[in-house]
Chain A
Amino acid sequence: MRLLGRWLAAQVGRAFLAAWAIASLVFLLSRLDAAKATDLLLGETDNLGTAVLRADADTIQHQARQAIEQRLGLAEPLFYTTRTQQAGTVSWHWHGLHNQYHRWLVGLLHGHLGLSFRDGQPIGPRWRAALAYTIPLTFLALLGAIVGALLVGLVLADGPQAALSGWRAGLHTLLTGLQGLPLFALALGLLFAFANPDMLNILPAYAGSPDDEELWGQRALRLVLPVLALVLAVLPELALLLAHTLRHELSTGYATTARAKGLSNGKLLRRHALPNAILPLLTALAGLLPALVAGAVVVETIFALPGTGRLLAEAVAMHDYPVVVAGVLFTALARLLALALADALYAWADPRIRLVP
């Protein structure tokens, strides 16, 4: 148990370090391009300047730029040290703790994600509002994917052992085909098939609702298509993996013994093979949550859900870097959570791991 604990801690620690490193990298890279951000804000204040004489426009523009840089904290140096190059000689400067990176890191530890470049508002509340849409979506999809994978995997592994035949082979081919499709094509296909005035118009296309007065049933109905798209995108990999392991387990000695004792095929699968086949599935589950969070970017854009994914996609399109950095942090956090969860489940599913002295 102690050994497992140490291994788990090392694993999570590594993932944590990686998350910090990638977020810092994105932060630093994005701030190198900060001139664009102030241009973005200047664009909004430009119409104030039209009333002023043309000759003053340049100085006013300059002052406005400085004011914006001050407000967003872009006036300070970027990092602890900077390298300056003047007339061929290169020198290093030490800035101490008054730099953008330090400020960002400290703010992060206090739970402040920073200010948006676009409107200068804090990002935190916006993320919380978006999370209210993304968390139900992701967890419904997670649940659907797990249940679906278990069902489909069991169905695929059932039946004659020699080779897949009949409709099982068809299902297998279908799943393999689905596995290769990009999520956005899948979601567009679903949107076209089920929410189109020309085709079957049985499900609402756009999930985002402006009013909160809506009935719960309607809101759930709106989530059907996005969740279905996400589930279909991640299901094939899990189900095929499970079916493959199950078939492998069925060809081992203990399965033959159980069959010789007169156990039915279904019972053998569920009671004996499944507990052994579940471990590779748990490993795959660790990658599932991050995949769903990434998939949310596509699905929320297509189905017009105001969740975190769409926030991230819009921020990327508008060069709103602080929001992008927050998105990276959020995704990395989801992976951290998934990893810790998978480790805990691993210990629960396999007593051999628990019993390591």
Chain B
Amino acid sequence: MGWLLLVLSAGLLAPWLPLAFLPAVPDLQHVAEAPSWAASPAHWLGTDTQGRDVLTELVYGARQVVSSSLPAALLATLVGALAGGAAGFWGNKGLRLPWAVWLAGVAVGWWALALPGRWPCSLALAGGAGLAWWRRRSRTAKPTGWPLPLDAMFQSALTLLSAVPRLVLVLVFAAGPALGTPQLVVLLVLVAWPEAASQVRTQMLRVRELPFVEAARAAGLPTWRVWYRHALPHACRPLLATAPLSLAGLIGLESTLAFLGVGRPPDVPSWGNLLGTLQQEPGAWWLLASAGGALVLTLLALQQLAQQFGQRA
């Protein structure tokens, strides 16, 4: 716990900490040196093969964790909860969109893609949508329309994303030009959301049959409100225990990317990057001890946190 708070505060406060060296600025007089406290601005934890101060890199590496892995894990959990919850609640046949919505959607798509006959076809479709809407308003019968196969869409997205392992998927999408932080976050969210989503979906399949959901429906609440206010909070319960684990997985993934030197520019300070320099200097025990230690401690602390949450949930 204490360690996690330390990492978090180091990440947030990195630019204002009284560090003797700047990140990514080599000190060429001291390259790959073990820790020493003799010199006046001492390298407390030594330097790496390019003469960068290890302590500074560690602190800025924590900043990297806080600024990319943490938001990615939160976003992935959110996206996963919404997608999995919707797929589990409505299934393949539950969500019936009225004809008007379908026609309007096709019209907008036709127009935006500029398929042949752009104006007449999209106008005709929009007209059809209006007509359907008007007829629907005039007689309020049972909800009609075509069901949106939410669950099938969800499952196929999952199958597609799980066709290759996460690491390979991230590597492949990072193969292009170097990524900035927002792109990295998006990429991490893309590969991480299925985990939370399938969990919420399984839970939702159970929750939607429970009496209180039935009661909410019988009370005449709108369906989306039953979903959002009553079913979803219950289905998301186990996420509390797995969110720290998901964060740990993403930190590991991001460090692996940095270690392989893929995706980010090489001068972005990160723990994985620091460990990567170990390959040029295999005897540098201080590099392994500091960066590896920071990484391992963080991951173990997150595991502990997940266990505590799991016991409470």
Q: Could you list which residues of chain A lie within 8 angstroms of chain B, going by C-beta atoms?
A: 14-15, 17-19, 21-22, 26, 29-30, 33, 36, 83, 90-92, 176-177, 180-185, 188-189, 191-192, 196-198, 205, 290-291, 293-295, 297-298, 301-302, 312-313, 315-317, 319, 321, 324, 327-328, 331-332, 335
Given the complex of chains A and B, what is the CA–CA distance between A18 and B155 in angstroms?
Answer: 11
Does B248 belong to the interface (CB within 8 Å)? yes
User: Is B308 close to A, CB under 8 A?
Assistant: no
The chain B residue sitting closest to A304, CB to CB, is B279
Q: A182-B256, A192-B285, A328-B168 are in contact. List 16 more A-B contacts (CB 8 A).
A: A18-B163, A83-B113, A90-B118, A180-B299, A180-B300, A184-B272, A185-B275, A192-B278, A294-B166, A297-B168, A313-B171, A313-B260, A313-B262, A316-B260, A331-B168, A332-B163
Q: How far is the CB of B251 from chain A (nearest CB, A)?
A: 8
Q: CA of A29 to CA of B174 in the docked complex: distance in angstroms? A: 11
The residue in chain B whose Cβ has the minimal distance to the Cβ of A177 is B300
Query: Provided the pairs A21-B163, A313-B262 are in contact, do residues A92 and B282 lie with their beta carbons within 8 angstroms?
Result: no
Complex Cα gap A197–B284 (Å) = 11
With beta carbons under 8 angstroms apart, the residue of A21, A198, A317, A335 that contacts B285 is: A198
Whether A176 lies near B303 (C-beta < 8 A) is: yes
Q: How far is the CA of A191 from the CA of B283 in the complex (A)?
A: 10
Residue numbers in B under 8 Å from A180 (CB-CB): 245, 248, 252, 299-300, 302-303
A324 and B288: CB pair below 8 A?
no
Interface pair B114/A297, CB less than 8 Å apart:
no
- Contact A181:B299 (CB < 8 A) given known A302-B279, A335-B164: yes
CB-based contact A196/B282 at 8 Å: yes
Residues of A within 8 A of B173 (CB): 29
B292 touches A321 (CB 8 A): no
Docked Cα-Cα span, A189 to B295, in Å, equals: 12
> A18 and B171: CB pair below 8 A?
no
Which single residue of chain A is at the shortest CB-CB distance from B293?
A185
Once A182-B253, A184-B255, A301-B260 are accepted as A-B contacts, the answer to whether A324 and B172 lie under 8 Å apart by CB is: yes
A332 CA to B285 CA, complexed, in Å: 38
Contact (Cβ within 8 A) A290 B115: no
List the interface of chain B (C-beta within 8 A of A).
Answer: 113-116, 118, 159-160, 162-169, 171-177, 245, 248, 252-253, 255-256, 259-262, 272, 275, 278-279, 282-283, 285, 288, 292, 295-296, 299-300, 302-303
From A21, A181, A189, A301, contact of B288 by CB (8 A): A189
A298 touching B166, Cβ below 8 Å: no
- Residue of A29, A176, A181 with highest tally of chain B CB at under 10 A: A181
Q: Is the pair A317, B160 in contact by a Cβ cutoff of 8 Å? A: no
Cβ–Cβ contact B255 & A182, under 8 A: yes
Give 12 CB contacts A-B under 8 Å: A22-B164, A22-B169, A30-B175, A33-B176, A177-B303, A181-B252, A182-B256, A184-B255, A184-B256, A191-B282, A196-B282, A321-B175
- Say whether, besides A188-B275, A188-B292, A297-B167, A15 and B159 are in contact (CB < 8 Å): yes
Residue of B160, B169, B278, B299 touching A21 (CB-CB under 8 A): B160
Bound form: Cα–Cα A321–B159 in Å: 23
Query: How many angstroms from the CA of A17 to the CA of B156 in the assembled complex?
Result: 10
Contact in complex: A14, B159 (CB < 8 Å): yes
Q: A291 to chain B: which residues have CB within 8 Å? A: 165
CA distance A144 to B118 in the complex (A): 61
Given contacts A181-B252, A185-B292, contact A327 B302 (CB under 8 A): no
**C-alpha spacing A313/B295, complex, angstroms:** 22
Give the complex CA separation of A315 and B118 in angstroms.
Answer: 42
Which residues of B have CB within 8 Å of A293?
A: 165, 168
Contacts of A198 in B (CB 8 A): 283, 285
Q: Which residue, of A182, A301, A317, has the highest number of chain B Cβ atoms within 10 A?
A: A182
Is A331 a contact of B165 with CB atoms below 8 Å?
A: yes
Let me know if B248 and A298 touch, CB within 8 A.
no
- A32's nearest neighbour on chain B, judged by CB, is B176
**Nearest Cβ in chain B — how far from A296, in angstroms?**
10
A276: shortest Cβ distance to chain B, in Å?
A: 23
Asked whether, in the complex, the Cβ of B116 is within 8 Å of the Cβ of A92, the reply is yes
Give the residues in chain B near A22, CB-CB below 8 Å: 160, 163-164, 169
State which of B113, B248, B275 has its C-beta within 8 Å of the C-beta of A184. Answer: B275
CB distance from B151 to the nearest CB of A (A): 15
Give every chain A residue within 8 A of B165 (Cβ-Cβ): 290-291, 293-294, 331, 335
Kindly provide the distance from the CB of B233 to the nearest chain A CB, expressed in whole angstroms.
28
B33 to chain A minimum Cβ distance, whole angstroms, is 16
Minimum Cβ distance to chain B for residue A85 (Å): 9
Chain A residues, CB < 8 A from B113? 83
- In the complex the two chains form, what is the Cα distance from A197 to B283 in whole Å? 8
Q: Which residues of B contact A312 (CB under 8 A)?
A: 168, 171
B292–A189 CB distance below 8 A: yes
Query: Which residues on the A side are within 8 Å of B116 (C-beta)?
Result: 92
Contact between chains at A192 and B288 (CB < 8 Å): yes
Q: A18–B248 contact, CB under 8 A?
A: no
Question: Are A316 and B275 also in contact (CB < 8 A) when A184-B256, A205-B282, A331-B165 are?
Answer: no
The answer on a CB contact under 8 Å between B160 and A18 is: yes
Residue of A nearest to B164 (CB): A331
Task: Please indicate the chain B residues that have their CB under 8 angstroms from the CB of A91 in the complex.
Answer: 114
- What chain A residues lie within 8 Å of B160 (beta carbons)? 18, 21-22
**Residues in B whose Cβ lies below 8 Å from that of A185:** 252, 255, 275, 292, 295-296
Q: How far is the CA of A189 from the CA of B172 in the complex (A)?
A: 26
Q: Do residues A192 and B164 form an inter-chain contact, with CB atoms below 8 A?
A: no
* Interchain CB contact under 8 A, A317 and B261: yes
Question: In the bound complex, what is the Cα–Cα distance between A294 and B166 (angstroms)?
Answer: 8
A192 CA / B261 CA spacing, docked (Å)? 20
Contacts of A321 in B (CB 8 A): 175
B residues less than 8 Å from A205 (CB atoms) = 282
Q: How long is the Cα–Cα vector from A17 to B162 in the complex, in angstroms? A: 12
| In-complex Cβ contact of B282 among A90, A192, A313 (8 A) | A192
What is the chain A residue whose CB lies nearest that of B158?
Answer: A18
Bound-state Cα–Cα, A192 to B285, Å? 8
